[in-house]
């Protein structure tokens, strides 16, 4: 068994908690990691630690389609020989602009999966609200997934517009492909998808495979199955419009 411990608050004594968008990106990376492990047949026990009890953070996670994590309080025993993965945000800066050094005693045990900050554009998301009222939450999810977890990501108007256009196009295509006879996913395509997410959770690599499949000469039924399979990892509701294609 793998024990996954997402911690929206990075270890150490930062003077202030990370922005909500960054905390949610930590939870999103953990959510995708759980999906990847489960798709590979690995049982996962996901325990939320750190700054995870706040209602606004839990509400934002639910809006982005992040599955709930168990509360880690009182769950630190009985792990046995389980592998422990801790998903944590990178160290924040203090008021002087210096990175806050974590206390070694506070560092989580096991493998640490670091997540770079997510910076919301104030003109798009006033007050650091993660999901504007008129925005499909999966658009925000796609923007946060569009960069490697080790690279900062910015939620600006251009990124949101591009993600929105991509989701609209993909959902329409998937709904249209579903009208054709189903075909198996080609093994080389399945291998490319798995190789991407098994390469340090390279979700942008998964998205690049889908972009290639979208315009490929594969049968439409095979393209449908490919997108549906990849969405088990991505959680972008790509099959949401089934039955609505003209």
In-domain check, residue 92: yes
Domain end among 48, 82, 115: 115
**189 and 84 both lie in a single domain:** no
**170 and 101 both lie in a single domain:** no
DSSP string covering the chain: -EEEEEESSPSS--SSPPPHHHHHHHHHHHHHHHHHHHHTT--EEEEE-SS---HHHHHHHHHTTPPP-EE-TT-SS--TT-EEEEEEEPPPB-TTSPBPPPPGGGSPSSEEEEE--EEE-TTTSGGG-SS-TTS-HHHHHHHHHSS-TTS-EEE-HHHHHHHHHHHHHHHHHHHHHTTSPP-PPPHHHHHHHHHHHHTTS-HHHHHHHHHHHHTSSS-HHHHHHHHHHHHHHH---TTTTTT---
Of 1, 88, 78, the residue nearest 50 (C-alpha): 88
**111 and 47 both lie in a single domain:** yes
CATH of the domain at 221: 1.20.120
**171 and 109 both lie in a single domain:** no
**94 and 186 both lie in a single domain:** no
pLDDT score for 53: 55
d(CA 224, CA 177): 6
Enter the tokens of residue 155.
Answer: 């939620």
pLDDT score for 238: 97
**102 and 189 both lie in a single domain:** no
In-domain check, residue 183: yes
What are phi and psi for residue 217, nearest 5 degrees?
Answer: -95, 10
**18 and 84 both lie in a single domain:** yes
d(CA 107, CA 11): 6
In the chain, the number of structural domains is: 2
**175 and 80 both lie in a single domain:** no
pLDDT score for 185: 97
The pTM (predicted TM-score) of the whole model is: 0.83
pLDDT score for 182: 94
Enter the tokens of residue 134.
Answer: 């008129």
Domain span including residue 173: 163-234
In-domain check, residue 123: no
The residues near 74 (Cβ < 8 Å, ≥ 6 apart) are: none
What's the maximum distance between 2 C-alpha atoms anywhere in the chain? 61
**Please, what is the Cα angle at 231 between 227 and 236, to 5 degrees?**
115
Enter the tokens of residue 100.
Answer: 């806050």
**202 and 104 both lie in a single domain:** no
pLDDT score for 216: 96
pLDDT score for 89: 84
In-domain check, residue 182: yes
In-domain check, residue 138: no
Collect the ranges in the chain with pLDDT lower than 50: 1, 13-18, 77, 92-105, 122-128, 245
Helix 220-234 vs helix 157-177: crossing angle, to nearest 10: 130
**38 and 95 both lie in a single domain:** yes
d(CA 182, CA 175): 12
**109 and 32 both lie in a single domain:** yes
d(CA 139, CA 158): 12
């Amino acid at each position: 068994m793998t024990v996954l411990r997402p911690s929206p608050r990075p270890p150490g004594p930062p003077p202030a908690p990370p922005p909500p968008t960054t905390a949610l990106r930590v939870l999103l990376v953990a959510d995708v990691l759980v999906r990847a492990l489960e798709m590979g047949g690995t049982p996962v026990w996901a325990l939320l630690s750190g700054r995870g009890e706040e209602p606004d953070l839990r509400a934002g996670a639910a809006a982005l389609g992040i599955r709930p994590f168990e509360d880690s309080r009182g769950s630190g025993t009985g792990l046995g020989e389980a592998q422990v993965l801790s998903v944590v945000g990178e160290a924040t800066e203090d008021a002087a602009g210096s990175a806050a050094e974590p206390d070694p005693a506070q560092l989580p045990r096991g493998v640490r999966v670091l997540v770079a900050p997510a910076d919301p554009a104030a003109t798009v998301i006033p007050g650091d609200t993660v999901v504007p009222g008129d925005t499909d939450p999966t658009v925000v999810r796609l923007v946060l997934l569009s960069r490697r977890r080790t690279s900062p990501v910015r939620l600006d108007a251009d990124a949101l517009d591009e993600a929105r256009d991509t989701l609209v196009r993909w959902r329409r295509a998937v709904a249209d492909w579903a009208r054709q006879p189903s075909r198996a996913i080609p093994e080389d395509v399945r291998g490319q998808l798995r190789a991407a997410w098994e390469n340090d959770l390279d979700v942008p690599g998964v998205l690049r495979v889908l972009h290639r499949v979208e315009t490929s000469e594969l049968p439409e039924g095979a393209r449908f199955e490919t997108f549906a399979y990849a969405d088990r990892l991505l959680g972008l509701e790509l099959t949401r419009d089934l039955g609505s294609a003209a």
